[in-house]
Amino acid sequence: MKAKVHVRLKSGVLDPQGKAVRHALLGLGFAGIESVRQGKLIEIELSETCPERAYASVEEMCRRLLANTVIEDYAIALED
C-alpha cells in the first residue's frame, strides 16, 4: 500500500521559498502569478495492507516527524 502525504504551510504562515519562486517566475517573464506556495510531497511505500491501520500509522508519522503541526497542515491519500 502506498501513501501520499501533502505537507503545506498553514494559510497565515509566511512562505519565503514560495515568494522567491514567484519572484523568479516574474523575472523569467511569466505574468499573472498572484501567489506561489511551496510544500512537500512525501510518498511512502508500506507493507501494511489494511487501509485503516495504514492511515492511522501514516497519521502518526505526520504528527511525530513529517509535519510541524504548529505551522503546517498535512493531507494523506492512500493508494493500493
Positions in the binding site for its own copies (CB under 8 A):
6-8, 18, 21, 24-25, 28, 30, 32-48, 57, 60-61, 64-66
For the bound state, the minimum distance from the C-beta of residue 79 to its own copies, rounded and expressed in Å, comes to: 13
CB contact set of 17 (below 8 Å; sequence gap of 6+): 38
In angstroms, rounded to a whole number, what is the distance separating the alpha carbons of residues 30 and 24? 9
Taking the least distance from each CB to its own copies, the nearer of 34 and 70 is 34
For the bound state, the minimum distance from the C-beta of residue 63 to its own copies, rounded and expressed in Å, comes to: 11
Taking the least distance from each CB to its own copies, the nearer of 41 and 70 is 41
For the bound state, the minimum distance from the C-beta of residue 40 to its own copies, rounded and expressed in Å, comes to: 6
Q: What are the Cα distances from residue 15, in Å, to 29, 32, 61, 72?
A: 22, 19, 23, 11
